[in-house]
Amino acid sequence: MRAADALCEALKAEGVKHVFGIPGGASLPLYDALYDADFEHIQVRHEQAAGHAAEGYAKASGNVGVAFATSGPGATNLITAIADAHMDSVPTVFITGQVRTDLIGTDGFQEADVTGITMPIVKHSFLVTDPNQIPDYIHKAFHIAKTGRPGPVLVDIPQDLSKMEIDYEPITGPPKLPGYQPNTEGNIKQIRIAAKALANARRPVLYAGGGVVNAGAAEELRELAGSDRFPITCTLMGLGAFPAPHEQWLGMLGMHGTRTANYAMDEADLIVAIGARFDDRITGKLSEFAPRAKFVHIDIDPAEISKNVPAHIPIVGDVKKVLPKLTGEYRALAADGSRLDEWWRRIEGWREQYPLHYEDSSDQEIKPQLMVEEMYRVTGGDAIITSDVGQHQMWAAQYYHFSKPNRWLNSGGLGTMGFGLPAALGAQVAMPDQQVVCLAGDGSLIMVCQEFATAAAHDLPIKVFLMNNGHFGMVRQWQELFWDERYKSVAMGPSPDWVKLAEAFGWTGILCDRKDELAGTMQTALETDGPVLLDVRVSQNENCYPMIPSGAAARDMVG
Amino acid sequence: MAEPQAKELLDLDDLRAEGGLTGRRHLLSLLVENRPGVLARIAGLFSRRGFNIDTLAVGPTEDPDISRVTLTVDGAVHPIDQVTKQLHKLVNVLKIRDMDPGTAVAREMALFRINAAADNRAEIIEFTQIFRAHIVDVSRRSITVEVTGTTEKIDSFERMVRPHGLIEMARTGEVAIARARPEN
C-alpha cells in the first residue's frame, strides 16, 4: 500500500471523521490519498485557522482534532495554533508535509525545520525517516495527544516517503512507548491525607481548572463539592466544569474574576487545586498569593505540581479517577459541616458587598456587558460559545453563566486573538446539531476574516456576534489605566463595513446599534439559516472590571 | 472505604510543602532513546525553562538503542524536582536517576596543555605523577596531560598547574554509574 494511503487508514482506525487543512507541494501525495479517504477534509483559507478549527473540534467534542499543512510556510502558519494547543492542553495531531529527504537541510524550496521550530511547543513530535514508520507514528501521535495531559503532537512527513509502497497491517493494541507512562490513579495514601485536611479545614476553597473539563470530570467535581458545602471557583479554562448558577459557586477567580472568589482564595486555609496550574493570571503577585493556605494539588502532569506554588499534599493522577476516591474518603470521615458556617457568612458578605456590576446606559448605547447578558438570555445559556481574546472574552467569562463543560471554547494560556471564528468552525463541524456562537472582538475578527469563506463553502451555520468597540479594547484599557492615557495604535480607525463584508462572503449580515434592537437582532441572527454576522456597536471606552492590576495581590483588586 | 484510623485529627499547621532548593550539585543520569533530536529536546527544555546545565556528557550504553546522558545541575539555583519532572515529560527519556554521591561512582576526564619550559618541566611531571595522570603529548615548550578522576581532583590539578601557564584545557563533564549493592 502507498504510505500516504496507509496514513489515511491509520487515521480512520483512530476514529477520525474530519480533518482541517490546506494542500501544497509537499503534501500532494497526502491529498491524493485524501481523495479516496473515508473522512471529510475541511478546506480552510489559512493554515492557522486549520489549527484553531482542530482545537475547537477537540474542545467541543473531546475527540482529537487533526490539521494538515504543507511544508515551509504552510507548516509555520500552524505554529500559533500548535502553541495554543500546548498551553491549553488540547488533544490535537498536526500532520505536515516536508520536502523530499534528499532536499532536507539544503534550504530547499518551501523547506522549514518544522520539528525543530515546534520542539518547545509540542507534547511530542515525529519526523518520518522511513515510510514504514508512518502508520505507527500516527497511532503513537494519537495516543500521546489524548492520554495523560492532552496536547499537540506533530508528524512531519517528507514528500518522497509518503509516495513509497509499504507493507501495511492494521495496528491493534496500545503503541509501545516505554518513556511515556502517565500515572492516572492517584496515590490513595495521599488522597486520604487530603480528605483529612479537608475535614479539618475551616476555610476551604475548591479551585478547578481546565483539567476537569479535559478529563470529563464535571460530574465527579460536583460530587466532591456536594459532599459538604465547599465553596468552589473555576479558572477561565474551567468554566462550565461546575454550574455557574449553583449556590456554592463563587464565580471565576483571577485577574478579572469576582472579588468573592479572589478574597476567598486570599483568606482560605486550604485550597484544593484540581486540574489547574496556578497561572500568573490566577495568582497575581505570587509571594502574596493565598498567604494563609495549605495546598492540595491534583494534576495528571507531575511537573505542574509545585511548579509555581509549592504543594503540601501533591496528588498525581487523572482527576476523573482521583475525585471519586477523595469524595469517598471525605464522606467516610463524617466531618461536621457546621464548621463551614462562619466561612460561608464571610463569603456571603463579600457576595452582597461586591457583586459583578456595571452601569447601564440611560440611552440607546449598548454596554458590552449587556450584550453578553442578552446573548445568555437568547441562547438559553446553552450554546457553545467561542471567543477571541480581550475584554469581550472576560465579559463573556463573567456574564455568560456556563453550566456545562465543553461549551466555552477560548484561548486562555496563549491568549490568541483570532481564535474564535476558526474554533467555531471546528466546533460546528464536530457538533452539527448544536448552536455555535462566536463572540468576537473587532480587533480579533479581522485577523481571521478570510474564514468567512470556509463557513460559506462548507455550509456551517455559525453565528458571529461581533462586539464592535472600534478598539483593541483591552490594550486601550491598559493604556488608559497604566500608561497615562497615551493611546497608541489601539483605535481600529476606518473599520470595514462588517455587514457588507459578511455579505460579500455569502453570509447574512445584520447591524445593531440600538439597545432596544439588541434582543430582536440576536434572535433574528439565531433563527436565520446559514452563517450570520451580527455587528453590535457597543460602548467604545468601557473598561473590564474588577481587576487585579498586573503584579498586584488579589486583595488589591480595583474597580 | 476509608480505614477507621483515618478519623484521627490532622492539623493543617503540621503540613509541610514539598520541593524547593536542595543547595547542592546534582548529578542526573538519564537513559534516553538513541534517536535523532533527543539531545536537542533535552537542551531545548533546559533553555526554555531557564535551567543551566553545568556539565553534559552523552554516549552509548550496553544497549545500542539506548544512550546515556549524564548532566550536572546546581540544586542551589534550580529546584531539582522541577528539573527531573520536566525531563520525565520528554517521551524519549526512559529513566532518570538523581545519583547520590554516596552510592555512585562518578568520573571525569580532562586534557591540559601546560606551558613547560626547561625550568618548570620537572615540576609539571611531578604533579602528573602525584595525580596519577598521564603525559600524552610533549613538545619543547609544552606538555599535554590527561587526568581522570572526580571533578574535585581535576579542579585541584588545574589549580596546581595554572600558575605555570595553562595554555588550554578540555573537560568531558562527569559520567557516573551506580555502585553495586554490597553482597551479603
- Show residues of chain A in contact with B14, CB under 8 Å: none
Gap between the Cα atoms of A492 and A75, Å rounded: 30
Q: Is pLDDT at B1 greater than 60 in this prediction? A: no
Q: Is pLDDT at B170 greater than 90 in this prediction? A: yes
pLDDT digits (tens, 9 = 90+) for A41-74: 999 999 999 999 999 999 999 999 999 999 999 9
DSSP letter for A223, please: H
The candidate with the shortest Cα–Cα distance to A417, out of A473, A478, A497, is: A473
Which chain B residue is nearest to residue A325, measuring alpha carbons?
Answer: B1
- Show residues of chain A in contact with B90, CB under 8 Å: 179
Contact in structure between A46 and A83 (CB atoms under 8 Å): no
Contact in structure between A306 and A242 (CB atoms under 8 Å): no
CB pair distance less than 8 Å for A120 and B40: no
Name the residue facing B40 among A119, A179, A329 (closest C-beta): A119
Buried b (16+ CB within 10 A) or exposed e, A157-166: bbbbbbbeeb
Which of left, alpha, beta for A343 (phi over 0: left; psi -120 to 50: alpha)?
alpha
Q: Are strands A65-69 and A384-387 parallel, antiparallel or unpaired?
A: unpaired
pLDDT confidence bin for B184, thresholds 50/70/90? low
**Would you state the pLDDT for residue B4?**
44
Q: What is the mean pLDDT of residues B156-175?
A: 94
Interfacial residues of B (vs A; Cβ cutoff 8 Å):
1-3, 6-12, 15-20, 32-33, 36-37, 40-41, 44-45, 48, 79, 81-82, 85-86, 88-94
Q: For B11-78, what is the HEC assignment?
A: CHHHCCCCCCCCCCEEEEEEEEECCCCHHHHHHHHHHHHCCCCCEEEEEECCCCCEEEEEEEEECCCC
Low-confidence ranges of chain A (pLDDT < 50): none
Q: What is the mean pLDDT of residues B141-156?
A: 95
Total beta-carbon pairs less than 8 A apart between chain A and chain B: 91
Q: Is pLDDT at B5 greater than 80 in this prediction? A: no
Beta bridge partners of B95: B31
DSSP assignment string, A395-413: HHHHHS---STTSEE---S
**Would you state the pLDDT for residue B14?**
86
**Would you state the pLDDT for residue A32?**
97
Nearest-Å Rg of the Cα atoms of chain A is 24
pLDDT digits (tens, 9 = 90+) for A467-485: 999 999 999 999 999 999 9
Gap between the Cα atoms of A296 and A487, Å rounded: 43
**Would you state the pLDDT for residue B2?**
43
pLDDT digits (tens, 9 = 90+) for A155-204: 999 999 999 999 998 888 889 999 999 999 999 999 999 999 999 999 99
ipTM of the complex: 0.89
Q: Are strands A270-274 and A294-299 parallel, antiparallel or unpaired?
A: parallel
Which of left, alpha, beta for A489 (phi over 0: left; psi -120 to 50: alpha)?
left
CB pair distance less than 8 Å for A179 and B89: no
Length of chain B measured in residues:
184
Contact in structure between A272 and A245 (CB atoms under 8 Å): no
**Would you state the pLDDT for residue A172?**
80
**Would you state the pLDDT for residue B8?**
61
Distance from the Cα of B61 to chain A's closest Cα (Å) equals 17
Which chain B residue is nearest to residue A125, measuring alpha carbons?
Answer: B91
Distance from the Cα of A309 to chain B's closest Cα (Å) equals 9
The candidate with the shortest Cα–Cα distance to A124, out of A154, A149, A159, is: A154
